[in-house]
Amino acid sequence: MQLVFATNNPNKLKEVQALVPNHIKLLSLEDILCIEDVPETQTTIEGNAIQKAEYIKTNYGYDCFADDTGLEVEVLNGEPGVYSARYAGSQRNAEDNMNKLLSELKHKDNRNAQFKTVIALHLDGKLQTFTGICKGEITKEKQGEKGFGYDPIFKADGYEKTFAEISLDEKNKIGHRGKAVTQLVNFLNNLSTS
């Protein structure tokens, strides 16, 4: 089976490739010569994932899946949420985004947050979605060099280290994207055995 993963983010591609079994060949947007920005203009994480998957299916004809992820902070009414990548502006800079969030939470005791990933799969003319959530909290300062995005300031429940301090394997086991991809893989494996 061959599927396009509709992302230009090499870090996401690496995370997902580590979870997908060998019988599923993953193609990137680069592999299908999609060089334009795939639109993400919806107001929800689910909406963006679906929009991206439908865009690739409609314009390139491939079966595919797309994800969208947001960091939802309780005391900020779920912000940055769908705007996580451009929270501090259209430059989409992770350092700027983290600095803005740490500044917003400076005098807040409640630091509860969750990462949410929604994957939309467009396969054989049908659309399926899978959701992974990882609950945790925002740290008071950046810790760790691994990962990407908000990883240096997010600590999952039950963990002393941030996502930027743990291995990719560990992050995939407990993380939002890993949970959503596991559901996707289980779904695809069930198709191939039925």
Parse the chain into domains and list their residue ranges. 2-193
Give residue 69's pLDDT.
Answer: 94
Residue 192 pLDDT exceeds 70: no
Question: Which CATH class name applies to 2-193?
Answer: alpha beta
Mean pLDDT of 112-130: 96
What 94-103 contacts at long range (C-beta under 8 Å, 24+ apart), as own/partner pairs, is 94/148, 94/149, 94/150, 97/149, 97/150, 98/142, 98/150, 98/152, 98/153, 101/71, 101/73, 101/138, 101/150, 101/153, 102/138, 102/140, 102/141, 102/142, 102/153
- Write down the pTM of the prediction: 0.90
Using a pLDDT cut of 90, give the percent of the chain over it: 80
Question: What value does the mean pLDDT of the chain take?
Answer: 93
Give residue 141's pLDDT.
Answer: 95
Task: Point out the catalytic residue in the list 63, 68, 109, 157.
Answer: 68
Residue 16 pLDDT exceeds 80: yes
Range among 1-5, 36-40, 147-151, 152-156 rated most confident? 152-156
Q: For this structure, is 68 an active site residue?
A: yes
**Angle 10-17/176-193 helices, nearest 10 degrees?**
50
Give residue 194's pLDDT.
Answer: 58
